[in-house]
């Protein structure tokens, strides 16, 4: 498992749906096209579901897309060590794809590709 920086012992917010909404507003004010709230919610759920399905979380943070609200938060304490290092490596890329979203299946392919790369030992 690749490590870039040691995992902090203290708890903190890694990401939240409210942050995604704020980030979208900042980008829209800067002239980017709007990313609809339903797309942002689907992306947040898709990412969270992926993390949960691959045992990157230590608990179920949300059980469905309908459970995603502005109060939905992913914290350091919610992640396994592998989950922390996966997010450290790929979370910025995932967020950066918000304005390039090509639908759930194509975005899932990015997550699976990153997962495969993450699981492959460095020679």
C-alpha–C-alpha distance, residues 35 and 54, integer Å:
27
98 within 8 A of 119, measured Cβ to Cβ? no
pLDDT band at residue 119 using 50, 70 and 90 as cut-offs: very high
For residue 121, the model assigns a pLDDT of 76
C-alpha–C-alpha distance, residues 57 and 108, integer Å:
18
Q: Considering the entire predicted model, what is its pTM?
A: 0.91
For residue 94, the model assigns a pLDDT of 96
pLDDT band at residue 116 using 50, 70 and 90 as cut-offs: very high
Per residue in 27-52, pLDDT (tens digit) is: 999 999 999 999 999 999 999 999 99
Mean of pLDDT values over 84-88: 95
pLDDT at 1 over 80: no
57 within 8 A of 79, measured Cβ to Cβ? yes
Name the residue among 87, 80, 48, 83 with its Cα closest to residue 64.
Answer: 48
Residues 6 or more apart from 106 whose CB is under 8 A from it?
A: none
How many other CB atoms are there within 10 angstroms of residue 46's CB atom? 18
């Amino acid at each position: 498992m690749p490590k870039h920086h040691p995992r902090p012992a203290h708890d903190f917010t890694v990401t939240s749906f409210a942050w995604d909404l704020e980030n979208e507003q900042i980008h829209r004010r800067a002239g980017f096209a709007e990313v609809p709230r339903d797309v942002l919610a689907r992306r947040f759920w898709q990412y969270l579901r992926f993390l949960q399905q691959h045992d990157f979380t230590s608990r179920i943070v949300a059980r469905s897309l309908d459970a995603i609200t502005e109060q939905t938060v992913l914290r350091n304490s919610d992640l396994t060590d592998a989950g922390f290092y996966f997010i450290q490596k790929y979370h910025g890329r995932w967020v950066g794809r918000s304005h390039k979203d090509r639908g759930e299946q194509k975005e899932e392919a990015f997550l699976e590709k990153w997962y495969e790369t993450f699981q492959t030992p460095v020679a």
